[in-house]
Structure 1
Amino acid sequence: MLLLKRFLLFAGLFISMVGACAELSLTGPLVQGGMVVGRSTPGTLVTLDGVPVRISATGYFVLGFDRDQAAESLLKLRFPDGRVETSRLKIEKRSYDIQHIDGLPERKVTPEKIDYERIRRESAEISRARDRDDPRTDFLSGWIWPVEGPISGVYGSQRVLNGKPRRPHYG
């Protein structure tokens, strides 16, 4: 009888663990600058490091990690039945290309006032585009290259112009 009770207890724990694991799947690299597609029970509330994450009606969501993301992120899920599960995600450090370019004309390194106006305007447009938050799930279809040709910069890469570090590429 004791053996049967232990078996049932173990089986119950195993089934509940499998059930919990089945309610969250993550696909993609847990790495600085990485993007992960997640899926959970529809209606689940998801946060990453305390920031709410939009989840689709079918349970899909996207996690994006900063270029210099900390070594650990906290993923919290509050399921429709009220249960809360927390996962500590280990984020792998990533190295980025840093290109040093010397001998440039000063205007290319320190823009003039007219250039700053254009830079501010373009930065505001980029911010508005990145602030967009809607229920689309286009990310599930995968990505395509926008054009063919040389790649001049990849996410996270950085240039040092005449010894002055510039902002990393976040495109």
Structure 2
Amino acid sequence: MKPVNFLFFVIIFFSQPVFADLIKGDLTPGGLIHAFLPPNSSATLNGKNIFVASDGLLVFGFGRNAKKRQILVVKTADGKIKHRSFQLKPRKYLVQRIDGLPKNMVTPPQAYWARIKHEAKILNTVRRLTSKRRDFLNGFIWPVKGRVSGVYGSQRILNGKPSRPHSGIDIAAPQGTLIRAAASGKILLSHPGMFYTGKTIVIDHGCGVSTIYIHLSKTVIREGQEVKKGAIIGEVGETGRATGPHLHWGLTWNGVNLDPSLVVRSDE
């Protein structure tokens, strides 16, 4: 995971002993952050409880539309409360307009709506699970080598109707290219074929952090299986709603879609 780029923020925000002596991540929409507080602390971000382990490990992330100003409140075991606010580095997202598409390319036929709703519930549930694992602390690698054909946060406007912003990154690669686990973890989901995502894998990396791999042509793991970083989990395909062979790779913290490109180096 990349070290935070805002040294000034780190010096000011974490100079007091009550806060972390080490913080990693990107203070920008899509960023995944972790730090260490005094043991048995608790914390809220913008008024919502966030995960803090008994030894002080703090984990949180910022969604695509996260507010620029963030407020973190930490309560230590001795009852002391500290408030700090900070600013996120803004991002610009690509917007693409496509007109003249057939209606079924914009809105799925009604016959599939119940299925889509059921599958969305499955994904939402598994991507909000929290475990005591800490595999994400050991960093991530690219699951596939290839051309990045779709970036996090981008959005298409189809026939004048805004679609959901892109929740991860797309990596174009030939059909059958091997896909590797971006980090060690436990397989939460190995689905044989969803309407939108096709063959789908979700891996738990601990503390609410998970990765998702979709449009696969083949999966070679099972739910509940432990995998190591770099282990082969499937092959690139174009199952589900896809326009060519590629891997959609996503990163999530407690159901919030983050930018996976921020947790890997370009040479990994």
TM value normalised by structure 1: 0.79
Output one character per residue of 1:69-94: Cα deviation in whole Å (capped at 9) or x when no partner: 11211111111122111110212221
Match of 2:69 among 56, 67, 72: 72
Give the Cα separation in 2 of the matches to 1:71 and 1:117: 37
Structure-2 residue corresponding to 1:58: 55
Are the aligned partners of 1:56 and 1:137 in contact in 2 as well (CA < 8 Å)?
Answer: no
Aligned residues: 155
Give the Cα separation in 1 of the matches to 2:15 and 2:156: 47
> What is the letter of the counterpart of residue 71 of structure 1?
K
Give the Cα separation in 2 of the matches to 1:148 and 1:115: 33
Q: Does 1:96 align with 2:93?
A: yes
Return the offset for 1:19: 4.8
**Structure 1 residues 117 and 69: CA distance shift in structure 2, 3 A:** same
> What is the letter of the counterpart of residue 148 of structure 1?
K
Q: Which one has a larger percent strand, Structure 1 or Structure 2?
A: 2
Give the Cα separation in 2 of the matches to 1:54 and 1:154: 28
Consecutive unaligned residues of structure 2, counting only runs of 5 or more, are 1-13, 168-249, 251-268
Consecutive unaligned residues of structure 1, counting only runs of 5 or more, are 1-16
Give the Cα separation in 1 of the matches to 2:16 and 2:162: 49
Give the Cα separation in 2 of the matches to 1:120 and 1:18: 47
Are the aligned partners of 1:38 and 1:63 in contact in 2 as well (CA < 8 Å)?
Answer: no
Q: Any residues of structure 2 matched to 1:78-117 within 5 Å, and which?
A: 78-117=75-114
> Which stretch shows the higher mean deviation, 17-26 or 85-94?
17-26
Give the Cα separation in 2 of the matches to 1:133 and 1:20: 28
Return the offset for 1:116: 2.0
CA-atom RMSD in angstroms: 2.2
Match of 1:140 among 137, 141, 148: 137
Output one character per residue of 1:101-145: Cα deviation in whole Å (capped at 9) or x when no partner: 233221011211123223212211121022212222222011222
Q: Does 1:130 align with 2:127?
A: yes
Q: Which one has a larger percent helix, Structure 1 or Structure 2?
A: 1
Q: Percent identity?
A: 37
Structure-2 residue corresponding to 1:44: 41
User: Which of these two proteins has the greater Rg computed from alpha carbons?
Assistant: 1
> Which stretch shows the higher mean deviation, 153-162 or 67-76?
153-162
> What is the letter of the counterpart of residue 101 of structure 1?
I
SS in 1 for 2:33: strand
